[in-house]
């Protein structure tokens, strides 16, 4: 019977399977994601993550596919990559190590270390002021757009606790200027110094999640662009899980290349029947 791991990266939870196991249950992956990720009738998760063998003989990075609960593919998912890095290290009997992963044709470096599990995130196009939206009759706020391999829009707000994240996320995510793909929607509050707190509405989950790795990077980049945090230093990103993620600049491409790191926890292993 095919086995799976239920793993969460700072509260962003995934069902992690290997293609070798899935071969025993021939099925369509989007359908399987919809079935397994359902929190009432399935296992429940923010995504189905499939670990494949190296994609090509000349590339030994391990292939990772992340399918959202609605059956769409997440082109980049920082927390899913962190969970996979942890599980590959465990399967290799290592408590620390470096692994190369390939998600949607992009190579990510991963580091399993005593201070958490880290993956690299490359930032593409940044538009600091993309559009304004009025939330709940208040003064309009600007949304920045940051491409971290998947699309994010981020608004800086005074108090994230005051935001109806599912309600506003759902509205903003369907804005005409974000179509056809829509975007993940983050609401970020600067806590002072190098600390932020972020709440994220995730496209494909179509709800707020407890944390988002690529969303943490998008928020840190937005805070950097608006001068709220300093460049070249770690940014601590608090989230709904109470387990912060850290966004750390990489040496190359300042402001564009980052590590995101934090805890990974295996919840249980199971058997698909």
Scanning 73-81, 94-102, 108-116, 160-168 for contacts with ligand LBFN2T5F by CB under 6 A, the matching segment is 73-81
DSSP SS3 for 124: coil
- Is 179 annotated as ligand-binding? no
Footprint on residues 169-188 left by ligand LBFN2T5F (CB under 6 A): 184
Q: What is the dihedral of CA 143, 147, 152, 156, to 10 degrees?
A: -40
For ligand LBFN2T5F, the binding residue among 33, 50, 79, 112 (CB under 6 A) is: 79
| Residues 159, 163: Cα–Cα separation, whole Å | 7
Looking at the Cβ atoms of 186 and 249, the one nearer to ligand LBFN2T5F is: 186
Tell me the HSE value of 215 on the side-chain side, using a 13 A CA sphere: 31
Centroid of chain to Cα 219: 12
| Residues 63, 205: Cα–Cα separation, whole Å | 22
Among 37, 66, 77, 83, the one annotated catalytic: 77
77 binds ligand LBFN2T5F (CB under 6 A): yes
- Is 193 annotated as ligand-binding? no
| Residues 57, 232: Cα–Cα separation, whole Å | 36
For ligand LBFN2T5F, the binding residue among 150, 194, 222, 239 (CB under 6 A) is: 150
Could you tell me if 239 and 216 are in contact, meaning their C-beta atoms sit under 8 angstroms apart?
Answer: yes
Among 37, 66, 83, 212, the one annotated catalytic: 212
Looking at the Cβ atoms of 68 and 145, the one nearer to ligand LBFN2T5F is: 68
Active site residues: 77, 212
Judged by the rule CB under 6 A, the positions of this chain that interact with ligand LBFN2T5F are 12, 68, 74, 77-79, 150, 184, 202-205, 212-214
């Amino acid at each position: 019977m095919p086995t799976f791991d239920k793993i969460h990266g700072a509260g962003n939870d995934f069902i992690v399977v290997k293609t070798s196991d899935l071969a025993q249950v021939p099925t369509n992956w989007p359908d399987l994601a919809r079935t397994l990720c359902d929190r009432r009738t399935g296992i429940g998760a923010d995504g189905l993550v499939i670990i494949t063998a190296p994609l090509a003989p000349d590339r030994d990075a391990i292939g990772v596919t992340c399918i959202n609960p609605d059956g769409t593919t997440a082109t980049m998912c920082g927390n899913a990559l962190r969970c996979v890095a942890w599980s590959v290290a465990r399967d290799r009997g290592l408590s620390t190590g470096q692994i190369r992963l390939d998600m949607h044709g992009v190579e990510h470096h991963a580091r399993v270390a005593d201070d958490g599990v880290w993956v690299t995130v490359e930032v593409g196009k940044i538009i600091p002021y993309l559009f304004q939206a009025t939330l709940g009759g208040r003064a309009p706020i600007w949304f920045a757009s940051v491409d971290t391999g998947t699309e994010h829009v981020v608004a800086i707000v005074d108090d994230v606790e005051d935001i109806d994240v599912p309600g506003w996320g759902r509205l903003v995510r369907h804005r005409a200027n974000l179509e056809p793909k829509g975007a993940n929607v983050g609401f970020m509050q600067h806590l002072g110094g190098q600390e932020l707190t972020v709440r994220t509405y995730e496209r494909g989950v179509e709800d707020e999640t407890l944390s988002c790795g690529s969303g943490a990077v998008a928020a840190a980049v937005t805070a950097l662009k608006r001068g709220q945090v300093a460049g070249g230093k770690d940014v601590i990103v608090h989230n709904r899980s109470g387990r912060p993620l850290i966004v750390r600049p990489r040496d190359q491409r300042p402001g564009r290349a980052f590590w995101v790191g934090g805890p990974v926890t295996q919840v249980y292993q199971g058997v698909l029947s």
